[in-house]
Amino acid sequence: MANKIIFPENFFWGAATASYQIEGAWDKHGKGESTWDRFTHTQGNIKNNDTGDVADDHYRLWKKDIALMKRLGLKSYRFSISWPRILPAGRGEVNKKGLDFYSKLVDALLDAGIIPFATLYHWDLPQTLEDEGGWVVRSTAEAFADYANVVSRALGDRVKNWITQNEPAVVAWLGYEMGVHAPGLKDHPKAMRAAHNLLLSHGMAVPIIKRNSGNAEVGITLNIGWKVPASISKLDRDLAQKDDGKWFRWFVDPVYGRGYPSDMVEHFTKLGALPGGLDFVKESDMDAIAAPIDFIGINYYNRIVHRSNDTDNEPQLVFPKPRTPENWTEMEWENYPEGLTGVLARVYFNYNPFKIYITENGASYSTPPDEKGNVPDELRTNYLRTHLAAAHRAIQAGVPLAGYFVWSLLDNFEWSFGYGQRFGIIWVDYKTQKRTLKDSAKWYKSVIKKNGF
Ligand code: IFM
């Protein structure tokens, strides 16, 4: 008989979503326009010109969605709050209907025995703030602190787990440097400022949330891939190191009080991305960013093998797996569970967080319902099983992993890819909004029940 994998007692078995990806109701009940509303309403930005206008219609169907969570036995649910639903103009007047929506959601989760994990920012910035410069300007970080104050005062008596920012690297680089996410800018120097203001907003919000929400735990979610050089050559090693520096160390180092990594300051300077040096960093900023946090959230999906195409390069030693559906998801991301053990160990042993949550992990496979109405998504189940086993290995090595949130509860709007990519453990028929538990959801339910497999 295969060895059993049993997780620690009180492990938080969860699922995650984000406001723009599921809620719809983009202009209902006083909600303001977000950068993603503007970006998706501009033709040519998104595959098939899909928008989040309706998405999973969760704003209307949330009670049914909580019933599904209960059916799965989820212990916790990670959702995000739409800033322009609460503060339509980004700051100032509060939209009571918006706050009520989340307040009722939280009450219903608690009634269902599901612990709410609220993320304050999963990318839908009020467009009014973008019009003033968005994350490139410091006043957006200040507005975020006010927003965090409003939300944590309203929900902080019941929400005790808070995530400030989700994947600030993605916001800064994809949104302001590469232009494939809202607001669609391609300006590296501006992206450097955006990255800093995102981090600053996190640091400013932490003490505010702690003040408003007694005994709350507060953290940040960062994305991290398993980045390896394709050979031992300096060329490949440099590529891997720089990519990791850009996407992870630039964010995690300041959060843990180490400031911006010097090799990356040098690298960004060479690229011309820091024309004025770090002139946008004010004296107290780095202390603010390093505000003590209770946990770090890790979003892990895949491995990236770095290979320089320089003709003088060494022979390649590390190869991505062959391109089969088992090995590569439909996002064209390599399925590499060992990397999850690696990143968890690295984060714990290098930065010593008190606690780690895997705040996202999952796979995009579009397996549709069969004639009996089942969704036989073994590829996803296999991905989840192998990644959970990898997470368990990290726990055995001493990593204080306290929970796992599968991405995602529902199929949803996958940013620039529109609705073509499906990460859900629940199938969503976008025409009828019918939800169907996929086989992976049924498997996950049994894992939660047995606290392992
Ligand atoms: O859908 C996204 C999510 O919003 C942030 N992390 C990665 C997921 C898959 O791309």
pTM of the model: 0.98
Cβ(217)–Cβ(162) below 8 Å: yes
Question: Measured from the CB, is residue 413 less than 6 Å from ligand 1?
Answer: no
CA quadruple 290, 294, 296, 297: dihedral sign: negative
**Atom of ligand 1 at shortest distance to CA of 18?**
4
**How far apart are alpha carbons 369 and 427 in whole angstroms?**
8
360 part of the active site:
yes
167 part of the active site:
yes
Place of tokens 């010593």: 352
pLDDT band of 389, cuts 50, 70, 90: very high
Model pLDDT for residues 283-297, shown as the tens digit of each residue: 999 999 999 999 999
Amino acid at 18: A
C-alpha distance from residue 224 to each of 184, 193, 248, 339 (Å): 22, 21, 6, 10
**Six-digit token pair at 18?**
């984000």
Backbone angles phi, psi at 298, to 5 degrees: -115, 125
Question: Measured from the CB, is residue 299 less than 6 Å from ligand 1?
Answer: yes
DSSP-derived pairing of the beta strands 426-429 and 401-407: unpaired
**Atom of ligand 1 at shortest distance to CA of 415?**
1
408 preceded by cis ω (within 30°)? yes
CA quadruple 153, 79, 359, 45: dihedral sign: negative
Nearest-CA neighbor of 146 among 213, 94, 70, 105? 94
Among the listed residues 33, 130, 167, 334, the single catalytic one is 167
Question: Measured from the CB, is residue 414 less than 6 Å from ligand 1?
Answer: yes
| Best residue for ligand 1 mutational test, from 419, 423, 425, 428 (most atoms within 8 Å of Cβ) | 423
C-alpha distance from residue 357 to each of 120, 219, 291 (Å): 16, 10, 18
Model pLDDT for residues 328-348, shown as the tens digit of each residue: 999 999 999 999 999 999 999
**How far apart are alpha carbons 119 and 17 in whole angstroms?**
10
Residue nearest to atom 9 of ligand 1 (CA): 414
Cβ(411)–Cβ(424) below 8 Å: yes
Domains of the chain: 12-450 (3.20.20.80)
Nearest-CA neighbor of 294 among 350, 340, 353, 215? 353
The pLDDT mean for the chain works out to: 98
The mean per-residue pLDDT over the stretch 246-264 comes to 99
Backbone angles phi, psi at 14, to 5 degrees: -140, 180
Among the listed residues 130, 217, 360, 414, the single catalytic one is 360
The pLDDT > 90 percentage for the chain reads 99
Is 1 a residue whose pLDDT tops 60? no
The mean per-residue pLDDT over the stretch 212-220 comes to 98
Is 3 a residue whose pLDDT tops 90? no
Is 2 a residue whose pLDDT tops 80? no
Beta bridge partners of 174: none
Model pLDDT for residues 140-163, shown as the tens digit of each residue: 999 999 999 999 999 999 999 999
**Six-digit token pair at 143?**
């507005």
